[in-house]
Amino acid sequence: MVEKRLFDKMKNIPFIKPSVPPIDEYFNEISDIWHTTMFTNIHSKHEKLEDALKKHLAVNNVSLFVNGHMALEAALSYFQLKGEVITSPFTFSSTCLAIMRNGLTPVFCDINEKNYTVNVDSLERLINEKTCAVLPVHIYGNVCDVYAIEKISEKYEVPVIYDAAHAFGVKVNERGIGSFGNISMFSFHSTKVFNTVEGGALTYADDKMYEHFAHFRNFGQKNRETVIVGANMKMSELHAAMGLCNLRHINSCIEKRKNCVNRYNERLIDIKGLHLNQPQNGVVSNYTHYPIRINEKEFGETRDSVFERLSRHDITTQKYYYPLVSNMAIFDKNPSNYDTPVADEIAKQILVLPLYSELTIEDVDYVCKIILEHQ
């Protein structure tokens, strides 16, 4: 009895809950391959998912991968680059690891405080003779200034590879976000708006890349006798089947996230010291994350203190992305090399709140109540 009362009081709210289809739908989807035992090596589920994603993402080509990180490594390796790659310091370490594991040097440019994507002026200033590519990051479903980046790419003749891990289904002026730049990488990890449990994809306009990635992700095998330097990065049929199921429910999942975002906005919009994410003109978001910025002076409390209080109430939030990757010793031994004052400040203030399609309006109200408790 006592235990039950304690349990009722504590409302556990995780940061993320993966979206899953009804289990019977998944069983049904995999029942044919259970009989054929074609579980991997690019068969019907894989092909069906690539086709469905081409339509859904409004892109010319899709190549599926075992996860988003390996897809990003594959994208960078396509260009056989040498030198420096300019990227955002306000991202998951994966972005930077993909650069380094290709033998390239990451260079960090500042971000803009409106939507946390790369500041294009800072990006252009950093371009020099060593620059071989740029790798901007669409973050929280916000998009980079894709038009300005296109001009920079043409002017300096450098390829653009987007980390679009957070940008599944996002559109800019009715164009699929994965159709900008030379290549975009999407992550289908369980924590993402659309998931295949683990998985990822590259999207691109250039048809000839398709064959290259088909070989590259399959041990580099062009045929049994000829190989290029690739690896095993294939998505399995069981993962692709999960994607086919989840894709059928994606619109309603995003709609539910949107309702939660609207409720967070209603509750938090007038609170002094809280800065909310701003919608972007012409952009259809996927509501992947709900970031807030806490200005200590105006709010009267630090981000870390709010984080701790939420955590004591069994509500998980994330300081995405703190610390900046440019401050991690593995990426640069001398962080003062980088002039990123906006990113430095935002990393100290940012807190990402729980958001997923199963989150209820009552959950959102509860999270907001705890955030505002000190006021």
Ligand X SMILES: Cc1ncc(COP(=O)(O)O)c(C=O)c1O
Per CB under 6 A, residues contacting ligand X are 67-69, 91-92, 94-95, 137, 163, 165-166, 187, 189, 200
Which residue reads 């399995």 in tokens?
236
Closest CB 347 distance from ligand X, rounded Å:
14
* Sheet of strand 283-284, all strands in order from the earlier edge strand to the far edge: 175-176, 171-172, 283-284
* Under 8 Å between Cβ of 118 and 347: no
* Under 8 Å between Cβ of 54 and 62: yes
* Residue at shortest CB range from ligand X: 68
> Helix or strand or coil: residue 123?
helix
Nearer to ligand X, 274 or 325 (CB): 325
Closest CB 85 distance from ligand X, rounded Å:
14
Closest CB 289 distance from ligand X, rounded Å:
10
Residue 105, Cα to own-chain centre: how many angstroms?
22
Per-residue tokens: 368: 């907001």
Nearer to ligand X, 15 or 366 (CB): 15
Q: In terms of Cα–Cα distance, which of 290, 288, 275, 289 is closest to 348?
A: 275
The rounded distance, in Å, linking the Cα atoms of 198 and 52 is 18
Nearer to ligand X, 68 or 159 (CB): 68
Residues 6+ apart with CB under 8 A from 119: 109, 110, 111, 112, 342
Strands 274-276 and 290-294, bridge-based pairing: antiparallel
Closest CB 327 distance from ligand X, rounded Å:
17
Closest CB 50 distance from ligand X, rounded Å:
17
Nearer to ligand X, 178 or 370 (CB): 178
Nearer to ligand X, 186 or 204 (CB): 186
